[in-house]
Structure formats: structure tokens, C-alpha cells
Amino acid sequence: MEPLKNVKLSTKNVNLYYGENHALKDINLDIATNKITAFIGPSGCGKSTYLKSLNRMNDLIPGCKITGQFLLDGEDIYAEGVDTNVLRRRIGMVFQKPNPFPMSIYDNVAYGPRVHGIRNKSKLDQIVEESLKAAAVFDEVKDRLNKSALSLSGGQQQRICIARAIAVQPEVILMDEPTSALDPVSTLKIEELMNSLKEKYTVAIVTHNMQQATRISDYTAFFLVGEMVEFGETEEIFSRPTDKRTEDYITGRFG
Amino acid sequence: MAANVKENSLCKKHRRPSDIILQIVIYICSALVVALTLGMIIFIVIRGCEGMSWNFLSTPAFSYPYENYGVLGNIINTLYLVVITMLVATPIGVGAAIYLTEYAKQGRLTQIIEFTTETLSGIPSIIYGLFGSVFFYNIFKVNYSILTGALTLSIMVLPTIVRTTQEAIKTVPAGYREGSIGLGAPKWHMIRTVVLPSCIDGILTSVILSIGRIVGESAALIFTAGIASEINISSIGDIFSKVMTQGGSLTVQLYQYAQRGGAELKYAFSTALVLLITVLIINIAAKLVAHSVRKKRG
């Protein structure tokens, strides 16, 4: 495969250890701007760990050690003096389990902008509305913005979480198996949403579901026990995998 | 064949004698608990009503120049103790709990601190009283004062607040924290906007438990807050200067009435009735507050 153009996030020789456990081994991977990159692989292969290292969520885990180079638009995100709060505003995250805060729908979406100092009510109103629209959930909740976000269905909650991530105007959105806790209808809605998201954002998604990867992603990386086995255009990976292990996995021989 | 079917019938109950006996024992145990509690409450209410009157509730007790039996002064003193103690202990306790769970590196030091707080909560209250009377005397140079009593009680209830708040903070789902941090929120912002609001139930519970302990405490107060029952408030300035004067709580007054015995014993029961009602009101208030908080969060 030719080198990617328009690389948003570039990682080189990434190694990650949880204590003694060598969880990521020499990962070299680039993520292209305004594309969806999917990470697939069996449980425990390191795909989620890798995703979380992209906005330094692993910093919260004691005993986690990371080496290698992570460049966001050419800037090292693990360099000394990097403000992780700014980093996480630029690289947002949507989690596996919908995790809206126990507050109103409005306050959930306005949370990020408020963190970053936006206090103006009409500005916040505008951000909340735009974000909810972009997350394709506005019509369903517009009459009850002041109701608790926990009263919504799982699929709606996850779209609220996507709206919440969008509200801080990130450049990259990381999604960690965002539909694994949802029913097929909600999953479909989120997949449709992702296609519109990539117009404005760069998306990296971890998924357990290979069909999902083929449906939504432009590029796919296959992980296996801490190694990145193969990376390429999704179509290529799924139709003509070059590595035997990739082929075995996508044809369902294991995993 | 037919007999076999019958033996396996779903409707037939197979009860072993030991089951029946155990069940009876359990019934008796729970009946005893209910009967004892109810019996005691009824007893206190009946005996307490004898000495109860508007005069008893609305005047302070004094014995010079003529006798008067009342508890208003003690009710006010108890309120003072509750308010001051909670104003001192809640921020310190919640702050310590936040530090221990969110900031401190989990290790030997936090283990030692947690072990110490647990031990502290098991120390008999009279020891706090003894310590408080000597320690705060050296600071305020007053033998007895409401402030001394309240500060002593603060030390006494701190472990409860710290431990309960810690447990409450630990129950906040990791997803909330990740969500907040993932949006670029600084740690303190996350704690303030997500962690504390979602464990406010637990914090309130610890506050209410502590208030219950304060209202019921006597041993730690006799040496520290003293036994006076006058009101001594005639101007706005007195409201504040009162904290430096002696003031006996309801329980201490109960102790005095009961100690003198004889005809005054009924006033001890009346005081007990006031205490019971106070505790009841606190518990109901606690439930209401927790309920409204939960409702607000949906």
C-alpha cells in the first residue's frame, strides 16, 4: 500500500506496557484526515489500548508505560509540557458503554464547552442545538432538553455522548466499540451518523463487528496479541488480505 | 408408575422439620426486635407525656431563685452544637475523602490513614471528651464552651464523614470520570461537576448520621460544652458570643434530670421524648433530601 496522504495522526514504534505486560508491540500506524479508520481484532489484542493512547486516556491507569512517537499534525502529544486538557479537546472520545452524566440532556452537551470557558447562554444554546443535530438526535430530544439524559434509551444516550464529544469542536473523534452495547436499530443509526461525521472530523473506531468495519470504514487495521498485523484500505483488507492471520480472522476461523 | 408421578408432583411440598423450626425461630427473633423497639418507644412516650407541657418546651431549666423545668435552653444549645460541628467537620471530612480517593497515591500512607480513621471511629466518646477538654482549654483558656464541645464533636464525627464519603466517591461509575476527562476537563473540574454531584446522596447520608450522633452524644460533652441551660441571648451580638459560653445539650440535661431522680425523673423522660422526636425529624428530613436529590437527577 502507498503511504497515506493527509495524515492527521501518525504513530511510530509504539510500545505500551501495563506493568510487566507488553500490551502493544512496535505499532506503526497513520490515521488519515476526514476518513474513518477501523481497528479490528479479537478481544485483548490491544486495539482499545491503542485507541486510548491516542488521547492519553491511558495516563489515568497506574503502571502504564508508553514509548514511541505520537504526532498530531506533526506535534508530539506525549511531549513534556503538553496540556492533556487541550489534547483531549482536539481528540475527543466516545466510549463503549453510553456514559452520559447524570444531568439534563442540555447540560450533558454543554459540559465540554463550559469546561473550555464558554458561558454565554445564547452561544451555548446554539452549540447544543448544532451538536445534537450533527449527532442525529435533535428531533428526538428537542422537547425535553431539560430532562435527565439517563431517561433516554441506550441508542439515544450514545448519540447524546457523540453530541457531547462534537460540542467541543474536536478534530479527531475516537470511538471505542460505540455500538457494542446497542440494539441493531440504534447501531444502524449510529453507523449512518458516522458517515456524515467524517466530512468534518477524522474518526478512529474500534469494533468487534467485522461487518461494521466493512460498512463504515475507509481503512482497517487488524490487531493480534499486541501487534498490528495488517493495515490497508478496508476493501483490500477484506477482499485480499496479505497476511494469513488476517485472512483466518476475517473468514471467521478464530476470534 | 403412578406413584412415581405423584412423588414428583410440583404441587407437593417437601418440608423438612428443621426448616419449620428454623422458620419459627426466625419469626420469634424478628418479633422480639419489633416488640422491644416499639415497647421502649411507647414507654418513653407515656412517661414523657407526664412532664410535657408548653412551659417545658418554651422555657429553659433553672434552679435559682425558684425551680423551673424546661428544655428550651438545651434545644438551642443542641442546635448550636449541630450547626457548628457540621460547619467544621463536613468540609474537612469531605475534603479529606476527596484527597484520599482521587489524589493520594494508593499505597502504604493511604492505608495507614484509612486504618487510623477506622480506629478513631471505634474510640469511646468519653475519651474524645477528655482529650477535647484539655486540648481546647489550652487554646481558648475557657473551661467549658459550646465551641469546645463542637470542636470535640467535630473530631469525633470526622471518621464517619471521611469513610462514608470515600465509599460514596468509590461508587461513582468510571464512565463518568472517563467522559469528563475525555472532554478535556481538568481533574478538579471533573470532581466538582461529575463526581461530587453523583455521590451527594452518600455525603448527605454521612452528614445525617453525624447529626444523629451529635444529638445523641453526652459523654463527650459533659467535660467540654458543660451543663448550663440558660439561654443568655438578649442581643444580636449574644448569638455569636454564646459559643464561648457553657451550654448543655439535651442529652446532658436528660442526664441531670435523671440523676436527681424522684419527681424529676418524669422530666428526664420528657427530654427523652424531645430527643426521640428530634431524631425522627432528622431521619425524615434525610429521606426527603435524598429523595429530592435523586428526583432532580432523574
* Residues of chain B contacting residue A112, judged by C-beta atoms under 8 Å apart: 183-185
Q: Look up residue B261 and give its amino acid.
A: G
Question: What CATH superfamily is the domain A7-99+171-250?
Answer: P-loop containing nucleotide triphosphate hydrolases (3.40.50.300)
Query: Is the interface score ipTM higher than 0.85?
Result: yes
Closest partner CB to A99 (pick from B178, B185, B297):
B178
The CATH number of residue B101's host domain is: 1.10.3720.10
The number of domains in chain B is 1
> Which grid cell is B185?
476537563
Q: Is residue B175 assigned to a domain?
A: yes
Q: Where are the domains of chain A?
A: 7-99+171-250
Q: Which residues of A touch B186 (CB under 8 A)?
A: 85, 115
Contact call for residues A145 and A88 (beta carbons, < 8 A): no
Map grid coordinates 488480505 to a residue: A241
Are A126 and A112 in contact by the 8 Å Cβ rule? The answer is: no
Chain A contact probe: residue of B101, B102, B110, B183 with most A CBs at under 10 A: B183
* Cβ <8 Å between B184 and A168: yes
Chain B hits for A88, CB-CB cut-off 8 Å, are 181-184
- Nearest residue in B to A54, CA atom: B182
Tally A–B CB contacts below 8 A: 75
Residue B10 within any structural domain of the chain: no
Tell if the CB–CB gap between B194 and A161 is shorter than 8 Å.
no
Domain that holds residue B99: 57-297
Least CB-CB distance to A148: which of B176, B185, B298? B298
Give the A window 39-98 contacts with B, CB below 8 Å: 55, 57, 60, 62, 84-89, 92-93, 95, 97
Cell 421524648: give the residue: B273
Would B203 be classed as within a structural domain? yes
Q: Tens of pLDDT along chain A (255 residues)? A: 677 888 999 999 999 999 889 999 999 999 999 999 999 999 888 999 999 999 999 888 888 999 999 999 999 999 989 999 999 999 999 999 999 999 999 999 999 999 999 999 999 999 999 999 999 899 999 999 999 999 999 999 999 999 999 999 999 999 999 998 888 888 998 899 888 899 999 999 999 888 999 999 999 999 999 999 999 999 999 999 999 999 999 888 776
Nearest to A168 among B183, B197, B198 (CB): B183
In this prediction the pTM is 0.81
Sign of CA dihedral A80, A84, A87, A92: positive
C-alpha cell at B16: 423438612
A165 touches chain B (CB under 8 A): yes
**Per-residue pLDDT tens digits for B209-223:** 899 899 999 999 998
Q: Alpha-carbon distance A152 to B293, whole Å?
A: 19
Q: What backbone phi and psi angles, to 5 degrees, belong to A119?
A: -115, -25
Residue from B298, B237, B251 nearest B81 by CA:
B251
